[in-house]
Copies of this chain bind each other. A is one copy, B any other.
């Protein structure tokens, strides 16, 4: 473990004081051209790299050009796309982003929040695990810029960018109803997530508008992972009086549902119609091509990062709240 060279080493080699070295590095203060050259040379020769830890310890407010992004599940393409959106604008502005995958685990979320904070990132983007997330609130109170994505935080004054889940679900279910379906199975999201609830509301409202009664036995709730889509579809489709259409509330669960539909040998859309949430790889070349609600995941990430950068620049600016519209892509599965 070779000890890396420090300011002191550079200073010694260039025969100046460490403050001079620091100042030439940061372009702060007046330093003679000749001295600067000598310092630069010494730095090059020693392969000097500033120690970010020390730098941040000294100056808590020294920008590290580092963003934190905390996501529930990296295997969910929605979040991967979102992450890319964040990445791209961050990088364009010379920021790097530290990604943390908390796997819907509250303790883990808290841990990462801690880490990012104590790494002094300039700001954090995350979907709060639920509406009143005290850990997140604490971070906000500490003065770290935070922007919420996808899910919201009840406590008002935060920048956030969400998808209009209610409208998305409403349109989807209205489309299903327009296709003549009356028994529409719901594979919903977790009840304690705002996205889950909003999509459920869309499902309900579509029924109400069409004067269709809700059938509780057709409404089940998963955890946004593939397995639960598979299991719930199994339950629903083996009911004595099964639904004729399925509305599945996210991409992974849609994949799961498709697995059981295939296992059951059901034909889409004749025997069972299907509309899913989230775009899926290959959805348009699937057989039949899948009708689904495309969420602008990349754009969510992009906007969030832009908002965050603005806030970092001007912490006093009023909070902006964006709501992006999802798009119902009608193909052949319903």
Does the CB pair B96–A112 fall under 8 Å?
Answer: yes
CB distance A2 to B281 under 8 Å?
no
Question: Which residues of the partner chain B approach A91 to less than 8 Å between Cβ atoms?
Answer: 103, 108
Chain B residue at smallest Cβ distance from A258: B285
A84 and B74 contact, CB distance less than 8 A: yes
**Which stretch (A113-121, A167-175, A206-214) binds chain B?**
A113-121
Question: Count of A residues near B, CB < 8 Å?
Answer: 53
In the complex, chain B residues whose CB is within 8 Å of the CB of A49:
114, 118
Q: Residues of B contacting A2 with CB < 8 Å? A: 141-143
The reply to whether A98 and B99 form a contact with Cβ atoms under 8 Å apart is yes
Is A87's CB under 8 angstroms from B103's CB? Answer: yes
Q: Mark A270-303, 1 if CB is under 8 A from B, else 0.
A: 0000000000111011110000000000000000
A131 interface hit (Cβ, 8 Å):
no
Kindly state the separation between the CA atoms of A261 and B142 in the bound complex, as whole angstroms.
Answer: 54
Out of B52, B81, B114, which one reaches A75, CB within 8 Å?
B81
Residue numbers of A with Cβ under 8 A of B are: 1-2, 4, 49-54, 56-57, 61, 66, 74-75, 77, 80-81, 83-84, 87, 91, 96-101, 103, 108, 111-112, 114-115, 118-120, 141-143, 255, 258-259, 261-262, 280-282, 284-287, 315
Closest 4 CB pairs of A and B: A1-B143, A287-B287, A52-B118, A99-B99
